[in-house]
Structure 1
Amino acid sequence: MLDAYGEVDEVADEPGTSQILSALLACSDAPGGLDGEVLYGVLSFCYEAFLDREGFPVYGLEAEMGNARCAEVIAFQKQCVLEILEHSECRQLDQLG
């Protein structure tokens, strides 16, 4: 993946490609797994890819807060994290019980 990153990034016309590639690299380069820090980076790259695809004329908190799609993306990411945490807690309880 790392070897092909530059080549793919150079020829990609689709907005957000660089950020999605960075998210993939972060996942593949996480020898300890997707801990909180790595996951934060991956989710950030994915959100930045969305912002790039939306074509905001100016990036900033005010513009993002006023955009319904930004709120949807954040809500989706929060839901994914909550589901992972719930499954993790269930597994821990099963191991204790």
Structure 2
Amino acid sequence: MALVPYDETAGIGLQKFHKPFATFSFANHTIHIRQDWKQLGVAAVVWDAAVVLSTYLEMGAVELKGRSAVELGAGTGLVGIVAALLGEWDTKDTDE
């Protein structure tokens, strides 16, 4: 059940939230996110803000390599996934 008033038949652009999957390309990876608006509501879709922030991170605005990050967002976790992919390190550069 959605937490906000919502009419499925109203508004152009909201149909994308009802697709079972959303696919994105970030950090040289293809990311498939499963969405389920009808069962889980607003937390089960990829919001445009997550795509914008993921794009911002991919542009290199914030150095993520070798850093830790906590995503305190809501939704499917796209930003956290992208941050993790961008922060990947080369294992030969780490001490074991």
TM-score with structure 1 setting the length: 0.27
TM-score with structure 2 setting the length: 0.27
Q: Whose helix fraction is larger, Structure 1's or Structure 2's?
A: 1
